[in-house]
């Protein structure tokens, strides 16, 4: 009987430099080729976060391997409910990122007055067939 081994794993995407006020930035990430990734949660944070639900950036994620948009527009950080204290927006159902996928993370600075350095963390598991 075939089964699976699940190993905790996080994907982290951060642009190479801070994003200027009202500016944009991006980060690209290629997933490993050893296993699919089952994503259970998303955390969006910046170096400027404070308060209960910060809203310093918006983000759009695209799976470039299949030209699949994760949303029809940029999603504000507050919609993910996250901040650097570790709160992770839990997806209603886990979803799979196929091994070897290329993800593009595009950011827009919403802070209004400061440069920001955003990060997106996709929390989940690498899924290995046995």
**Each residue of 47-63: pLDDT tens digit?**
888 766 788 999 999 99
Q: Which residue has the higher pLDDT, 86 or 107?
A: 107
The answer to whether 3 and 57 have CB atoms below 8 angstroms apart is no
* pTM greater than the 0.85 cutoff: yes
Select 4-129's CATH number: 2.60.120, 3.40.50, 2.60.40, 3.30.1360: 2.60.120
Which band of pLDDT confidence, cut at 50, 70 and 90, is reported for residue 92? confident
Q: Which residue has the higher pLDDT, 78 or 87?
A: 78
**Where along the chain do its domains lie?**
4-129
Would you say the C-alpha torsion 33, 126, 44, 83 has a positive or negative sign? negative
């Amino acid at each position: 009987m075939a089964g699976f081994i699940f190993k905790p794993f996080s994907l982290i995407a951060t642009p190479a430099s801070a994003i200027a006020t009202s500016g944009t930035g991006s980060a690209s990430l290629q997933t490993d080729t050893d296993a699919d990734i089952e994503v259970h949660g998303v955390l969006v944070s910046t170096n400027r976060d404070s308060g209960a639900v910060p809203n310093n950036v918006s983000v759009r994620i695209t799976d470039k391997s299949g030209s699949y948009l994760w949303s029809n527009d940029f999603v504000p950080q507050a919609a993910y409910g996250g901040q650097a204290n570790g709160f992770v927006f839990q997806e209603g159902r886990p979803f799979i990122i196929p091994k070897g996928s290329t993800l593009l993370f595009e950011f827009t600075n919403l802070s209004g007055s400061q440069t920001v350095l955003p990060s997106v963390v996709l929390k989940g598991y690498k899924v290995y067939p046995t």
